[in-house]
Amino acid sequence: MFYIFLNKLKQATGSTEKTLFSNKLFFYILSLAFISFSCGSGVYSPEQNSSLDDLINESTGSIYPHAAGFADPGSHGLYALANDIQSCGICHGDDFQGGTSLTSCFECHPPYPHGQDWNEPAQHGVSAQNSGIDSCAVMCHGEDYSGKGTATSCYTCHSLFPHDADWGNIEDHGVFVRDKGTDSCQTACHGPDLSGGLSAVSCTGCHVSYPHGQDWETPEGHGLYSIKNEKDVCKGCHGDDYLGGLSNINCRECHDPYPHETDWVEWDNHGDYVVTNSNSTCSGACHGTDFNGGDTNVPCFDCHRPYPHNADWTDMSSSSNHGRFYVESYVLQDTGNEECASSCHGTDFNGGGTSIACNSCHDNDIFPHVDEDEILWADTGHQIRINSLGSDTLCKACHSDYKKGAFGGPLITCTYYCHQ
């Protein structure tokens, strides 16, 4: 079409000088056409988005020379997204490092144009981690990362990230994990094992015991951990009172009464609990089936040696009954009977915290032997009591054969010191 135009022009002028002028005019028009078709290829159609109409240079009808304000992200950014960004490479270079225009796209927005495989976490994730996500919160993805501008929301692929400002609070990420689990965290971000991943932020960096490991629900799992590391680390999730907290998991649903209350070692706490509920919840992994410590390494017998009592404690025919224990541990050792005469059975042996009085079995207060009115039981006290009863039958329940001693063994015989 341009050659036809040139020939017509020559015929009209009929001179060489005019011909030269026409040739110059031709090349000028051709240059404008080249610019229009190269830089202007892919001009965004007004039918698609009339807001881009103002980007078209009125004098050339193309994108270049750029219109005023084209450097604004709302102008050239939208144009690049609405059209084939490769058309920018004609002037700015195939690598967008400047090309013939000597203006690199990366001077203003280093991550864009995005490279190959940008969608992979190892690409855009690492870039965001190294440069900060503020570089994403521009006209491209919007200040709230919801896609304003590009219509590409970060949350389309990873619904939790970028995290909100208070995400580090347990009320935010903790509640989310409680309700949704950790699957969405166990990605390239924090790693399949949640040890950090691309983010280099390990969950255990703040709460070393969570996410819990395999077999955590067993006593050997969470039980041993709380014993070795103090149970206060559990409060963040299970609450200061361990009744559930944000986790909604009450520790005492599985092992009541643990964690123990303050001053649990006092009789009014653990003693009263055992009397009311039995000691079955104490045995097992915590204090051991034999109450010698178990996983806690806290034997019950360290504080109250005869308790928990053995199975034969009340069987007078057994060699391990309470009578034999009493004689061997207190009478022969001359150590006193404070372990019995305490909160358990009371200093007067009338029941104490257990409500089990010794005289409920040992009739007429004959046992434990008590000195009365400065009369020692070992002196004439026991004889006075026998005389008042009119029989020594009650004595034989323990001393059976006076010559053999208590319970048929060489313990306290009536002939030991006095009755030869």
Residue 54: the pLDDT is 58
pLDDT tens digits for 212-232?
888 888 888 898 888 888 788
pLDDT tops 80 at residue 335 = no
Q: How far is CA 214 from CA 18, 187, 209, 231, 294, in A?
A: 92, 19, 11, 19, 22
> Given this model, what pLDDT does residue 411 score?
52
The C-alpha atoms of residue 154 and residue 159 are separated, in whole angstroms, by 7
Look at residue 74 and tell me whether its pLDDT is greater than 80. Answer: no
CA-derived radius of gyration, the chain: 47
- pLDDT tens readout for residues 144-156: 888 775 678 888 8
pLDDT given for residue 33 in this prediction:
36
Report the alpha-carbon distance of residue 127 to residue 187 in Å, rounded. Answer: 17
Cα angle: 137, vertex 138, 140; to 5 degrees: 100
- Residues pairing with 401 in the sheet: 405
**Could you give the CA distance from residue 379 to residue 407 in angstroms, rounded to a whole number?**
22
Q: Are 146 and 155 in contact (CB under 8 A)?
A: yes
Measure Cα distances from 118 to 89, 125, 393 in Å: 18, 9, 98
Of 225, 207, 204, the C-alpha closest to 216 is 225
Alpha helices in 132-288 (DSSP H): 175-180, 224-229, 235-238, 272-277
Mean pLDDT of the 166-183 span: 86
Q: Which tens digit of pLDDT belongs to each residue from 297-312?
A: 889 888 888 888 888 8
Give the per-residue pLDDT at 66. 82
Across 2-16, 65-79, 194-208, 372-386, least confident range? 2-16
pLDDT for residue 127 is more than 70: yes
* Residue keyed to tokens 């649903």: 253
- CA dist., res. 404 & res. 319, Å (int): 14
Mean pLDDT of the chain: 75
Per-residue pLDDT at 15 exceeds 60: no
Point out which residues pair with 163 in neighbouring strands. none
The pLDDT score that the predictor gives to residue 61 is 57
Reference 76, options 103, 94, 47, 36; nearest CA is: 103
Question: Which range (21-30, 115-124, 255-264) has the least confidence?
Answer: 21-30
Average pLDDT over residues 368-385: 75
More confident call, 248 vs 33? 248
Say which DSSP state 407 is in. Answer: G
Query: What confidence score (pLDDT) does residue 6 get?
Result: 35
Q: Would you state the pLDDT for residue 412? A: 60
Strand-pair partners of 405: 401
Count Cα neighbours of 270 within 13 Å in the Cβ-side half-sphere. Answer: 18
Average pLDDT over residues 251-261: 87
Mean pLDDT, range 86-108, rounded to an integer = 88
Q: Which residues contact 299 (CB under 8 A, 6 or more apart)?
A: 287, 288, 291, 292, 293
Which pLDDT does position 259 carry in this prediction?
A: 87
Ranking 220-234, 282-296, 358-372 by mean pLDDT, the lowest is 358-372
- pLDDT above 70 (res 4): no
Least confident of 56-60, 123-127, 238-242, 363-367: 56-60
Q: What is the mean pLDDT of residues 192-210?
A: 85
149-152: list long-range contacts, CB under 8 Å, 24+ apart: 149/73, 149/74, 149/77, 149/78, 149/81, 150/81
Per-residue pLDDT band for 250 (boundaries 50, 70, 90) equals very high
Q: In the predicted model, what is the mean pLDDT of residues 256-261?
A: 87
In this predicted model, which residue has the larger pLDDT, 132 or 302?
Answer: 302
SS3 labels along 317-383: CCCCCHHHHHHHHHHCCCCCCCCCCCCCCCCCCCCHHHCCCHHHCCHHHCCCCCCECCECHHHHHHH
What is the chain's length? 420
**Where are the domains positioned within the chain?**
2-107, 137-204, 219-302, 322-408
Nearest-angstrom CA–CA distance, 267 and 270: 6
Q: Is the pLDDT of residue 187 over 50?
A: yes
Could you tell me the pLDDT band of residue 416, with boundaries at 50, 70 and 90? low
Q: Tell me the two tokens of residue 299.
A: 């034997």
Residue 365 has pLDDT above 80, yes or no: no
Higher local confidence (pLDDT), 65 or 266: 266
* DSSP tag of 43: P
Rounded percentage of the chain residues whose pLDDT exceeds 90: 2
User: What amino acid occupies position 110?
Assistant: P
